[in-house]
Chain A
Amino acid sequence: MRQLALWRPGSTRVLPGFGLSMGISVLFISLVLLLPITGLFGQLAGLSLAEYWAIITEGRVVASYMVTIGAAAVAALVNGVFGLLLAWVLVRYEFPGKRLLDALMDLPFALPTAVAGITLATLYASNGWMGSILEPLGFQVAYTWVGIALAMAFTSIPFVVRTVQPVLEDLPAEVDEAAMSLGATDGVAFRRVIMPHLWPALVTGTGLAFVRSLGEFGAIIFIAGNMPYETEITALMIFVKLQEYDYAAASAIASVVLFVSLALLLAINIWQGRFVRRLHGGKG
């Protein structure tokens, strides 16, 4: 304890429970999170660098990165716009059914992904409720990358809504009053006055949605069609390697997803931290 306190001279640790909470946290993170991850790296250790590189850059796998990243990006962008709209409507307006709409936002988190996958595939197949309307119009959703993006967007929409919503709620009314009194139109005022406050939350939410989409399997697999080079996602490639008893290759591809996701999450956390600090600094 004393030794730990020395790491940060100047900060006096007034509150109790440092040792206990540190103990529980470190023990838990080590046992539940880090120890199993070592299994993954144990598998990787069996590969030479060249083999590792060959596995993760194989044509079909690279194509699956493209599909996954492309669809996740589209899903995240769509969610950025849609999520912003929903957050805005939920915070700024009163209307019948608002509480219901608010509760509905968490549905994708609460609904098991396999259920979501089966349901979306049923809805958007050419004989489903949505598919039978869209397909005659020339939009094929199921079994194309649009379907993948749709499933990703469905499972990750709450991230955007739930990160933007609180920030919007905390925004003091004076902010838009000032803009409006200067005679700016709604559009200009929103862009110039509101958006600068929302950016960090919006980027964070969209980023989390993107990361979530990269790893999603259950919801997508039913609607993807899984055609090589066209609609195969990276999670499926891992699954395929598992079927072939090729744990090393499965671990190699999984490690790529893991590193990319962790790097993005770390970036988001650092960015968020910076933003919080700036905010607090600004307010004094």
Chain B
Amino acid sequence: MRRIGDAPSVRRLLIGAALLLSALFLLLPLVAIFAQAFSQGMAVFWANVSNTFTLHAIGLTLIIALLTIPICLVFGVALAWLVTRFSFPGRRILQTLIDIPFAVSPVVAGLIYLLLYGRNGWIGGWLDTHDIQLMFAWPGILMVTIFVTCPFVARELIPLMQAQGSREEEAAVTLGASGWTIFRRITLPNIRWALLYGIILTNARAVGEFGAVSVVSGAIRGRTNTLPLHLEQLYQDYNAVGAFASASLLALIALLTLAAKAGLEWRASRREALL
């Protein structure tokens, strides 16, 4: 049995082209980050990473990601359940609305939050008189991070849940199972891997967001600086090695993310093979 493109010459050519292009296009930038970060040796790298401001930036970045994930998770699951299990007018519009964060440039995303919750905004003005500060403090960073990351979980779940259909859940309903039981025992196991993939993507974006956060953070070193902002400042301060040291931390998070994802997919495919 022969399939299209199985001829050894075609095979070799295509694999070769794919590997070469990926190496140049994707792998090289990654290598460059680490090469730059370690260009002055381990000691300088370590001094840059263990700097108080860098450590604070790492902490803040991780906290923001940790707070963002559960919120996006609840929303993503609810929306996916809604648009794949029910049919109602406006479904397609709802599905497009969730893409807004993809359509809005991150700087604009930051701007619209600033216009609303900043001192001159109509909500921000009220908050200001009550001495509540959202913008230029961690809540503002959290808010814009949620904005830019909220589509990921839903976008992962919707195609999968659409493809799986709702027959299993409907069968459970006729057997008299409660909503929560159905979700926990039928839906969740089915969407588990997609859900985790969604979380991984959310986390990656939350950790790395720059444009939107830069507008609302105020960039107070040791207070409201996230790691991407800190990196940019180091770069601006002619500390390219320090900037790339921070960049390498972010790249490391990216790599861990990719590894986690690859691991999940491997597990999923093994399970499939077993069934």
Contact = CB atoms under 8 A, between A and B. Distances in A.
Interface of A: 4, 7-8, 11, 13-18, 20-22, 24-25, 28-29, 32-40, 42-43, 82, 85-86, 88-90, 92-93, 95, 97, 99, 101-116, 118-120, 122-123, 129-130, 153-154, 157, 173, 176-177, 179-180, 186, 189-190, 193-194, 208, 211-212, 215-218, 235, 238-239, 242, 247, 250-251, 254, 257-258, 261-262, 265-266, 269-270, 273, 276
Interface residues of B, number: 101
A1 B1 CA distance: 55
A123 B173 CA distance: 58
Given A33-B147, A119-B29, A270-B92, A113 B170 contact: no
A24 B4 CA distance: 47
A8 B87 CA distance: 8
A24 B154 CA distance: 13
A265 B104 CA distance: 12
A101 B18 contact: yes
Interface in B233-275: 235, 243-244, 247, 250-251, 253-255, 257-259, 261-262, 265-266
A21 B88 contact: no
B189 interface: no
A209 to B, nearest CB: 11
A34 B108 CA distance: 14
Contact of B94 (A25, A35, A186): A25
Contact of A33 (B97, B255, B266): B97
Contacts of B96: 262, 265-266, 269
A32 B211 contact: no
Given A215-B104, A238-B105, A21 B81 contact: yes
Interface string B89-125: 1001011111111111111110111011000011000
Contact of A235 (B5, B99, B107, B228): B107
A262 B32 contact: no
A240 to B, nearest CB: 11
Contact of B33 (A7, A16, A99, A115): A115
Contact of A113 (B85, B89, B102, B211): B211
Given A20-B78, A114-B231, A118-B243, A29 B7 contact: no
Interface string B175-206: 00011001100000000000000000100110
